[in-house]
């Protein structure tokens, strides 16, 4: 039997707004009670840094913001970005971190294969000698990342709190997207439906959510205190 998720087909935003939106959705997950998938874009060339990284890891010429999740530097210039927020108590929050990656990344793999890209799940781990404070996400595949012809094409990171689980993911070919965003979105929805038996209902943010996002931009993601925290 299919389970229902909400789907927010969002547009491009400034880097602090994008990270604030994902955290706001996590904070509101208990009241929402069901998962929410958000597909979005970036209003200018940007990078997001993993939670444990320093701002010095960001390359020159890109707007930078620290994520609430871990991982390495992710370039948001030609990428396809999405997040899923799960309320605590959803079956996926009861899995260990790697198994939750497995389910979500197999769904994305199914989407890519349907579009003619034979992506494979990585079985390797990030070597211990890699400097995680400065590493670039797409040059360091880890287990259950997606590889295409041996190159990492998709990565993800998570944060778990008492409210639930936030999964942030990015798909990047290392060049402009070879497939239009609407087709990628449709394929992702199909992949989730086939692998996780998900059906989606449209979602639009209300005034209270938009205000919460803006508050997080002002007090957290748009501040030097957050972005230079490490």
Name the residues annotated as catalytic. 137
Instruction: Give whole-number Cα distances, 209 to 35, 78, 204, in Å.
Output: 16, 27, 10
Q: Could you give the angle at the alpha carbon of 38 between the alpha carbons of 210 and 204, nearest 5°?
A: 45
Contact status, residue 216 vs residue 15, Cβ threshold 8 Å: no
- Name the nearest CA neighbour of 136 among 62, 83, 82: 62
Per DSSP, helices labelled H in 45-163 are 97-114
The Cβ of residue 196 has, within 10 Å, a number of other Cβ atoms equal to 18
Q: Which residue has the tokens 């913001």?
A: 65
């Amino acid at each position: 039997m299919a389970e229902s998720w909400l789907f927010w087909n969002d547009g491009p935003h400034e880097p602090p707004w994008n990270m604030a939106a994902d955290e706001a959705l996590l904070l509101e997950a208990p009241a929402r009670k069901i998962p929410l998938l958000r597909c979005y874009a970036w209003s200018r060339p940007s990078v997001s840094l993993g939670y444990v990284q320093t701002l010095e890891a960001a390359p020159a010429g890109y707007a930078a913001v620290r994520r609430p999740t871990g991982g390495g530097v992710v370039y948001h210039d030609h990428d396809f970005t999405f997040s899923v927020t799960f309320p605590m108590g959803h079956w996926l929050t009861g899995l260990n971190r790697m198994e939750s990656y497995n389910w979500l990344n197999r769904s994305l793999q199914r989407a890519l294969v349907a579009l003619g890209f034979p992506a494979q799940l990585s079985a390797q781990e990030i070597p211990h000698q890699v400097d995680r404070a400065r590493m670039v996400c797409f040059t360091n595949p880890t287990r259950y990342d997606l590889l295409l012809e041996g190159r990492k094409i998709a990565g993800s990171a998570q944060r778990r709190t008492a409210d639930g689980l936030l999964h942030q993911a990015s798909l990047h070919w290392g060049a402009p997207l070879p497939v239009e965003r609407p087709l990628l979105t449709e394929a992702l929805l199909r992949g989730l439906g086939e692998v996780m038996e998900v059906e989606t209902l449209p979602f639009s943010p209300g005034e209270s959510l938009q205000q919460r996002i803006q508050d997080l931009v002002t007090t957290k993601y748009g501040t030097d205190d957050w972005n230079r925290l490490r």
